[in-house]
């Protein structure tokens, strides 16, 4: 993994023996291991490739000087020179700001640094996950720009939108494979069910990654990269986290988390690891009384295991991931008088039991005819049982209730097969091709015939072509055929142009699509006031996505800075909406009618002093919604929402303490509801979901070598609910506010890490 | 190192405690309201589909149960000549510009099938604004029960002025359609005459309906002729029923929409006042308190206010609205305080099993 990706030219004149070149870090003077050096004599008589050893040394034997060299290392800027005379040299290389851990893989031909990627990749690394005390993905993303989250109190789920596009279009992957959930294969995920206890980093790509990852990534991809290796023979970590929920805390209140992880090099070529996590959220009573709680209690157990075999040039692993979640929603007490006049109150309680198991086998490495390959098989099995029970509060007797939809089992089972091969044709042209087969089986009470299947088969290919002057162009194409909506051809093209001083310009165009969900295809719900049916003839929603991104690092005195500006535009056609059936006026169904666009501008700025690092970002996202073809001209406009975030970290090296501040302002979200007043005249009401500020503060400290401690305060500004003036009246009004959080909470996390060489 | 080993042990101990503290004790000692001497009635609405209208008489503690699809029209037995629709079945009607039933054919009803239907009205919300939608609220009787607001115009003594009505008979309790009719209403002596037929029929039937003033309305079923529905006017106070109300869809528009668990009151003799629990506790409320309230004869004074229906994503729960109770003044000038105790069946959890508690307020 540490092998450098290097490209070197060397030109040589005379020929001499046994010279030594030592490569050192310009700042620290330490020798740099793993610098790959390909050299060539100028007269073309001899060329070769050498890698520096742990002393930073490269031996050149029987080489005619002078030679022309150019080095490149993933962690260092490339260095070129002409070495004229035959003698020992010492070369100082300048470290890049990227750390070795900043390798990314999402959509890449080969793991490489985010800086080298042809498209923009945001990384939330281990250090940041830790600094936040983040246990779930929703906590890790809480101040990321262009991501808005939403909470459902009844079932305790947490959803997101990205670039102003709903969560159905955000695809969440675990090591590149869609993470299945109740509503989709990767998309529309419940982020509170995604734990990070064995996740090394989170890679976020905005924009449709449809060529590589297929459907439902119209807004973007969030790829969770798990640990598959350890630096020591044995690593054991034990974690304990205690968190208040608002001001509630105690054995029956608050949030209690325990974790255990063991990593072990079993034999020279074998590695194994296991992990367990237990999260016990006792709920939040808030403004409720008696038995009921505003946020229902939720308990999760998560376990994962990995076994990896690493023969020469290959790596094979099997990973198992399991989640068990129980949500208990206790209902309020209802009076019930018996004929004797005695009161035997009862309550209607709800329970949601979720289990998710993922099996994943993956192989990667080199083959004689491929520079790199990757192949996987995975099987995901998701099941959620919804139970509703009546409970007599005097006798304690319980019964399952019998209303339509009270008892339900939703299942989502997916087989995925995939593979990619990467071939370097020449120094300037690389090719990646791949295939993906996906077989989904979805079941549930309101799905026609109880269960439906969707199969998808795709092949794809991309080229990375360095045209000239380091301009990198990556065109891609995916051909997919789906059992429920036929064949699509999806193109994309990405361009990266570097400028002097490590500045980069990236341009991207992609076509994305969202497959109609099983619910949209096969839903069935009839009661006295509703007749809703799925539509098997739906087409996917298609989007065009354009984005550009420019970043430039620079230094002011000893302050290292980086500035970035980015723009995006999404245009979604045939968006699926609910509409009156064309064939039966008394029922409603899903149709491809709406048009939706989003437009965004963002700027960000990072600055690093010796011990202080800061970043600030602003984004301005517009949403345009056309619900009707005859929409009045003045309604055809974007509604803009600002977002602002800022992070500050101070590293107090002397006492091994880091202080972190995370801030985000999520602006008011405006939308319009239009209604008919008198014939032909429409009236527009503009609704608004209020904006809010979010502030987290953490302090992390390492002590006794083996201990980490994090003290933190989440949601310091104590935001609980925000107003929503867009809610209209009628029987279906759920209150004019939107829940954000249960309020300010404090946590302490203690980690014990044992490392044995 | 010794230090860290000790700390490790401490952490493991804490972990163990963490795994063990999973005991929940919410229901160890539930708070239970005491037994009452009040009158209690379990209204036989009939469960999830709510097939019944249940008329309740407080003084006799009796309920009269009628299938809500057992009738079509009610003929007012008072001085005026008015006809009401079967609102619980979501019947809808509109007049056409003809006054001879034999001249009316399917051609006169073109387009009505996709508009004058309770489900079609709701379905039209999901699409381009329908031009006809604002008229939909004129196809039902106004929910407040005012006779001036009936969908069928007051019957004229001049026979020629009484137009033909196209009627969608709405839905049965199981959701099946009850079909369409055409009808015309005339004054005959001191009562009514109804001419009626199926849409395509070239002939029609006639039915004579006399006013029986012991009742608010005299009822008719197109298939069976005269039928009994509500008890005599002085013998009921409130009624549980499905009710086609007007649902506001935005600041200015309303559409007919069938509300479940609705409570209407006897228009002739009953007046009702709503009381906030914040002002008075039900138990402490006495006759003296009843004099300061403002009473209403609106059919839907109680309406759907007594209950709450949970919405997806909200933290409200389906059940009785705990913040309200009511005071009912009946035909004999008795005052009762009335409290809804439950909305759901205590075992099956289904809607359509309401229970009420009421007490006579002694002067």
pLDDT tens string A664-710: 999 998 765 544 333 333 455 667 888 999 999 999 998 887 899 99
* Rounded Cα gap, residues B274 and B296, in angstroms: 9
Does residue A274 carry a pLDDT above 70? Answer: yes
Say yes or no for a CB contact (<8 Å) between B30 and A392.
no
Q: How far is B170 from chain A (nearest CA, A)?
A: 12
Express each pLDDT in A151-162 by its tens digit. 887 677 889 999
Check residue A12 and give its pLDDT.
33
Dihedral pair phi/psi, residue A473, rounded to 5°:
-120, 135
Say yes or no for a CB contact (<8 Å) between A240 and B15.
yes
Name the residue in chain A with its Cα closest to that of B14. A240
For residue A256, which residues of chain B lie inside 8 Å, CB to CB? 18, 21
For residue B122, which residues of chain A lie inside 8 Å, CB to CB? 529-530, 588
Which residue do the tokens 């990198």 mark? A472
> Which of A252, A258, A707 lies nearest to residue B15, judging by beta carbons?
A258
* A697 sits in which H/E element: strand A692-703
Does residue B133 carry a pLDDT above 90? Answer: no
Check residue B24 and give its pLDDT.
45
> Which of A291, A403, A731 lies nearest to residue B48, judging by beta carbons?
A403
Biggest CA pair distance of chain A: 113
- CB-based contact B85:B229 (threshold 8 Å): no
Burial class, A288, CB count within 10 angstroms (exposed 0-12 / middle 13-18 / buried 19+): middle
Q: Which among A333, A676, A727 is the top mutation candidate for probing chain B, defined by the most B β-carbons within 10 Å of its own β-carbon?
A: A676
* Rounded Cα gap, residues A607 and A388, in angstroms: 53
Say whether B148 sits in a helix, a strand or coil.
Answer: helix
Interface contacts (A, B; CB < 8 Å): 247
For residue B250, which residues of chain A lie inside 8 Å, CB to CB? 673, 675, 683, 685, 728
Check residue A684 and give its pLDDT.
54
Q: How far is A271 from chain B (nearest CA, A)?
A: 25
Check residue A726 and give its pLDDT.
55
Does residue A6 carry a pLDDT above 50? Answer: no
Does residue B307 carry a pLDDT above 60? Answer: yes
Express each pLDDT in A240-268 by its tens digit. 999 999 989 988 899 999 999 999 999 88
Dihedral pair phi/psi, residue B103, rounded to 5°:
-85, -5
For residue B346, which residues of chain A lie inside 8 Å, CB to CB? 334, 336, 344, 346, 390, 392
Express each pLDDT in A515-560 by its tens digit. 888 888 888 877 666 778 888 889 899 999 999 999 998 888 888 8
Q: Which among B3, B9, B14, B18 is the top mutation candidate for probing chain A, defined by the most A β-carbons within 10 Å of its own β-carbon?
A: B18
Does residue A97 carry a pLDDT above 60? Answer: no
Name the residue in chain A with its Cα closest to that of B308. A731
* A531 sits in which H/E element: strand A531-533
- CB-based contact B91:B85 (threshold 8 Å): yes
* Rounded Cα gap, residues A603 and A642, in angstroms: 12
Does residue A635 carry a pLDDT above 90? Answer: no
Signed CA dihedral, A519, A524, A527, A530: sign only? positive
Q: Which among B313, B316, B342 is the top mutation candidate for probing chain A, defined by the most A β-carbons within 10 Å of its own β-carbon?
A: B313
- CB-based contact A569:A547 (threshold 8 Å): yes
Task: Name the DSSP class of A132.
Answer: H
Q: Give percent above pLDDT 90 in chain A.
A: 48
Q: HSE of A341 in the Cβ direction (CA atoms, 13 Å)?
A: 8
* Rounded Cα gap, residues A76 and A35, in angstroms: 9
Check residue A757 and give its pLDDT.
80
Does residue A7 carry a pLDDT above 60? Answer: no
**ipTM of this predicted complex?**
0.84
Strand A220-226 vs strand A170-174: parallel, antiparallel, or unpaired? parallel
Say yes or no for a CB contact (<8 Å) between A238 and B314.
no
Check residue A306 and give its pLDDT.
96
* Rounded Cα gap, residues B248 and B200, in angstroms: 35
Q: Mean pLDDT score of chain B, rounded to an integer?
A: 89
Range in A72-76, B26-30, B121-125, B229-233 the model is least confident about: B26-30
Confidence of residue B68 (pLDDT cuts 50, 70, 90): very high
Both tokens assigned to A527: 């009661």
Range in A461-475, B223-237, B345-359 the model is least confident about: A461-475
* Rounded Cα gap, residues A458 and A137, in angstroms: 29
Confidence of residue A730 (pLDDT cuts 50, 70, 90): very low
For residue B246, which residues of chain A lie inside 8 Å, CB to CB? none
Q: Give percent above pLDDT 70 in chain B.
A: 89
For residue A593, which residues of chain B lie inside 8 Å, CB to CB? 127
* Rounded Cα gap, residues A143 and A129, in angstroms: 12
Confidence of residue A108 (pLDDT cuts 50, 70, 90): confident
Q: B278-307: buried (b, 16+ CB within 10 Å) or exposed (e) per residue?
A: eebebeebeeebbeebebbbbbbbbbbbbb
Does residue B348 carry a pLDDT above 80? Answer: yes
Looking at chain B, how many residues does it have?
A: 363
Say whether A476 sits in a helix, a strand or coil.
Answer: strand
Q: What strands lie across the sheet with B164-168, from one edge to the other?
A: B92-96, B164-168, B180-188, B191-197, B205-209
> Which of B113, B126, B258 lies nearest to residue A528, judging by beta carbons?
B258
Cβ count within 10 A of residue A652: 12
> Which of A586, A588, A675 lies nearest to residue B249, judging by beta carbons?
A675
For residue A393, which residues of chain B lie inside 8 Å, CB to CB? 27, 30, 32
Q: Give percent above pLDDT 70 in chain A.
A: 91
Closest C-alpha among A447, A525, A439 to residue A484: A439
Confidence of residue A107 (pLDDT cuts 50, 70, 90): confident
Name the residue in chain A with its Cα closest to that of B258. A529
Burial class, B30, CB count within 10 angstroms (exposed 0-12 / middle 13-18 / buried 19+): middle
Our CA angle for B173, B178, B184, nearest 5°, is 130
Check residue B9 and give its pLDDT.
52
DSSP per-residue codes, A399-464: EE--STTSSEEEEEEEEEEEEEEEEEEETTEEEEEEEEEEEEEEE-TTBGGGEEEEEEEEEEEEEE
As beta bridge partners, residue B157 has none
List for chain A the helix, strand, coil content (%; round to 5).
5, 60, 35
Q: A199-230: buried (b, 16+ CB within 10 Å) or exposed (e) per residue?
A: bbbbbbbbbbbbbbbbbbbbbbbbbbbbbbeb
* Rounded Cα gap, residues A3 and A371, in angstroms: 14
Closest C-alpha among A572, A664, A560 to residue A626: A572
| Position with higher pLDDT, A28 vs B16 | A28
Could you tell me the end-to-end alpha-carbon distance of chain B, in angstroms, rounded to an integer? 84
Express each pLDDT in A579-634 by its tens digit. 777 777 778 888 887 888 999 999 999 998 888 999 999 999 998 887 666 555 65
> Which of B15, B123, B320 lies nearest to residue A238, judging by beta carbons?
B15
Confidence of residue B314 (pLDDT cuts 50, 70, 90): low
Close Cβ partners of A60 (under 8 Å, ≥ 6 residues apart): A18, A19, A20, A21, A39, A50, A67
Close Cβ partners of A557 (under 8 Å, ≥ 6 residues apart): none
* Rounded Cα gap, residues A596 and A625, in angstroms: 5
Both tokens assigned to A633: 């001209």
DSSP per-residue codes, B311-363: -TT-S--SEE-TTEEEEEE-TTS-EEEEEEEEEE-TTT--EEEEEEEEEEPP-
Say yes or no for a CB contact (<8 Å) between A343 and B35.
yes
Say yes or no for a CB contact (<8 Å) between B120 and A586.
yes
For residue B350, which residues of chain A lie inside 8 Å, CB to CB? 401-403
DSSP per-residue codes, A647-685: EEEEEEGGGTEEEEEEEEEE--EEEEEEEE-STT-EEEE
| Position with higher pLDDT, A697 vs A734 | A697
Check residue B345 and give its pLDDT.
95
B296-306: average pLDDT: 94
> Which of A258, A585, A678 lies nearest to residue B120, judging by beta carbons?
A585
- CB-based contact A295:A283 (threshold 8 Å): yes
| Position with higher pLDDT, B231 vs A556 | B231
Express each pLDDT in A37-66 by its tens digit. 878 777 767 777 788 888 888 887 777 777
Confidence of residue A363 (pLDDT cuts 50, 70, 90): very high
Cβ count within 10 A of residue B257: 21
A211-232: average pLDDT: 90
Both tokens assigned to A596: 């939706």
Name the residue in chain A with its Cα closest to that of B22. A252
Range in A97-106, A306-315, B290-299 the model is least confident about: A97-106
Say yes or no for a CB contact (<8 Å) between A394 and B48.
no
> Which of A328, A528, A730 lies nearest to residue B260, judging by beta carbons?
A528
Does residue B42 carry a pLDDT above 70? Answer: yes
For residue B127, which residues of chain A lie inside 8 Å, CB to CB? 579-580, 593, 628
Burial class, A661, CB count within 10 angstroms (exposed 0-12 / middle 13-18 / buried 19+): middle
Our CA angle for B120, B123, B127, nearest 5°, is 125
* Rounded Cα gap, residues B5 and A183, in angstroms: 46
Closest C-alpha among B217, B235, B239, B234 to residue B226: B217
| Position with higher pLDDT, A577 vs B348 | B348
Closest C-alpha among B20, B104, B128 to residue A256: B20
Which residue do the tokens 């048009």 mark? A595
């Amino acid at each position: 993994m540490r092998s450098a990706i290097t490209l070197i030219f060397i030109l040589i004149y005379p020929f001499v023996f046994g010279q030594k070149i030592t490569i050192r870090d310009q700042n620290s003077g330490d020798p740099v291991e793993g610098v790959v050096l390909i050299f060539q004599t100028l007269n073309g008589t001899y060329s070769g490739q050498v890698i520096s050893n742990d002393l930073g040394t490269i031996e050149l034997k029987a080489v005619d000087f002078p030679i022309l060299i150019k080095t490149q290392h993933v962690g260092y800027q490339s260095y070129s020179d002409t070495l004229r005379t035959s003698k020992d040299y010492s070369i100082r290389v300048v470290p890049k700001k990227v750390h070795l851990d900043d390798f990314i893989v999402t959509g890449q031909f080969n793991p490489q640094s985010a800086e080298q990627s042809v498209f923009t990749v945001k990384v939330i690394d281990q250090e940041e996950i830790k600094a936040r005390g983040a246990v779930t993905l929703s906590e890790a993303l809480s101040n990321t720009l262009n991501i808005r989250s939403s909470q459902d109190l009844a079932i305790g789920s947490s959803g997101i939108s990205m670039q102003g596009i709903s969560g159905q279009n955000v695809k969440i992957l675990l090591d590149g494979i869609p993470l299945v959930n109740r509503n989709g294969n990767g998309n529309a995920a419940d982020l509170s069910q995604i734990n990070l206890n064995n996740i090394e980093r989170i890679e976020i790509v905005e924009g449709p990654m449809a060529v590589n990852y297929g459907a439902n990534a119209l807004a973007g991809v969030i790829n969770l990269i798990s640990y598959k290796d350890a630096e020591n023979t044995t690593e054991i970590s034990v974690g304990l986290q205690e968190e208040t929920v608002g001001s509630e805390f105690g054995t029956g209140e608050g949030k209690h988390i325990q974790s255990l992880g063991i990593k072990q090099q079993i034999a020279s070529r074998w590695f194994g690891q296991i992990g367990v996590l237990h999260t016990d959220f006792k709920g939040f009573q808030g403004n409720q009384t008696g038995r009921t709680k505003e946020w229902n209690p939720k308990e999760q157990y998560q376990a994962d295991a990995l076994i990896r075999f690493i023969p020469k040039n290959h790596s094979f692993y099997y990973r198992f991931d399991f989640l068990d979640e129980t949500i208990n929603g206790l209902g309020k007490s209802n009076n019930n008088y018996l004929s004797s006049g005695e009161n035997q109150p009862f309550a209607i309680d709800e329970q949601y039991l979720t289990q998710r198991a993922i099996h994943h086998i993956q192989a990667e490495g080199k083959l004689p005819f491929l520079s790199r390959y990757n192949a996987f098989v995975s099987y995901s099995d998701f099941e959620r049982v919804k139970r509703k029970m009546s409970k007599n509060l005097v006798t304690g007797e319980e019964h399952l209730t019998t209303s339509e939809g009270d008892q339900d089992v939703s299942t989502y089972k997916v087989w995925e097969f995939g593979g990619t091969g990467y071939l370097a044709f020449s120094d300037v042209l690389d090719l990646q091709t791949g295939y993906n087969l996906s077989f989904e089986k979805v079941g549930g009470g309101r799905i026609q015939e109880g269960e439906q299947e969707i199969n998808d088969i795709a092949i794809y290919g991309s080229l990375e072509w360095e045209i000239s002057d380091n301009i990198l162009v990556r065109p891609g194409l995916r051909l997919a055929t789906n059992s429920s909506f036929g064949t699509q051809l999806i193109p994309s093209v990405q361009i990266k142009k570097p400028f002097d001083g490590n500045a980069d310009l990236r341009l991207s165009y992609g076509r994305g699509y969202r497959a109609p969900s099983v619910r949209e295809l096969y839903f069935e719900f009839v009661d006295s006031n509703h007749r809703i049916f799925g539509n098997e003839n739906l087409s996917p929603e298609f989007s065009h996505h354009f984005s550009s991104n420019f970043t430039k690092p620079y230094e002011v005195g000893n302050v290292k800075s980086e500035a970035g500006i980015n723009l995006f535009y999404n245009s979604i056609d045939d968006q699926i909406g609910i509409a009156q059936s064309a064939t039966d006026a008394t029922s409603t169904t899903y149709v491809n009618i709406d048009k939706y666009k989003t437009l965004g501008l963002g700027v960000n700025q990072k600055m690093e002093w010796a011990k202080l690092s800061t970043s600030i970002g602003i984004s301005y996202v517009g949403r345009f919604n056309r619900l009707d073809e005859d929409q009045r001209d003045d309604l055809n406009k974007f509604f803009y929402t600002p977002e602002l975030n800022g992070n500050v970290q101070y590293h107090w090296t002397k006492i091994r303490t880091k202080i972190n501040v995370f801030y985000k302002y999520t602006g008011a979200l405006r939308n319009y509801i239009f209604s008919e007043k008198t014939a032909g005249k429409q009236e527009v009401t503009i609704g608004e979901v209020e904006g809010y500020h979010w502030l987290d503060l953490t302090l992390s400290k390492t002590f006794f070598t083996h201990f980490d401690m994090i003290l933190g305060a989440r949601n310091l500004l104590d935001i609980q609910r925000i107003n929503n003036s867009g809610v209209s009246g009628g029987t279906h009004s759920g209150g004019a506010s939107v829940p954000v959080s249960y309020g300010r909470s404090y946590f302490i996390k203690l980690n014990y890490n044992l490392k044995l060489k | 190192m010794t230090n860290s080993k000790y700390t490790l042990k401490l952490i493991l101990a804490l972990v163990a405690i963490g795994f063990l503290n999973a005991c929940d004790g919410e229901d160890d000692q539930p708070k239970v309201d005491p037994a009452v001497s009040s009158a209690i009635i379990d209204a036989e609405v009939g469960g999830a589909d709510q097939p019944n209208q249940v008329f309740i008489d407080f003084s006799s503690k009796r309920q009269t149960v009628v299938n809500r699809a057992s009738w079509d029209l009610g003929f007012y037995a008072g001085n005026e000549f008015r006809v009401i629709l079967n609102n619980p079945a979501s019947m809808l009607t509109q007049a056409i510009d003809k006054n001879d039933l034999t001249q009316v054919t399917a051609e006169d009803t073109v387009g009505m099938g996709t508009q004058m239907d309770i489900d079609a009205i709701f379905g039209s919300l999901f699409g381009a604004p329908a031009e006809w939608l604002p008229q939909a609220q004129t196809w039902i009787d106004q929910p407040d029960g005012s006779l001036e607001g009936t969908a069928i115009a007051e019957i004229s003594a001049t026979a020629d002025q009484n137009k033909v009505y196209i009627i969608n008979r709405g839905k049965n309790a199981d959701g099946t359609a009850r079909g369409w009719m055409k009808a015309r209403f005339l004054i005959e002596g001191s009562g009514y005459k109804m001419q009626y037929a199926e849409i395509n029929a070239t002939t029609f039937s006639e039915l004579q309906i006399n006013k029986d003033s012991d009742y608010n309305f005299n009822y008719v079923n197109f298939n069976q002729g005269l039928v009994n529905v509500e008890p005599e006017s002085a013998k009921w106070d409130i009624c549980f029923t499905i009710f086609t109300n007007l649902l506001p869809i935005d600041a200015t528009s309303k559409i007919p929409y069938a509300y479940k668990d609705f409570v209407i009151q006897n228009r002739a003799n009953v007046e009702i006042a709503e009381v906030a629990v914040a002002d008075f506790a039900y138990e402490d409320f006495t006759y003296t308190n009843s004099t300061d309230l403002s009473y209403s004869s609106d059919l839907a004074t109680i309406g759907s206010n007594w209950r709450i229906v949970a919405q997806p994503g909200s933290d409200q729960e389906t059940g009785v609205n705990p913040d309200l109770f009511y005071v009912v003044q009946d035909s004999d000038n008795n005052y009762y305080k009335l409290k809804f105790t439950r909305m759901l069946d205590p075992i099956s959890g289904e809607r359509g099993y309401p229970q009420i508690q009421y007490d006579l307020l002694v002067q």
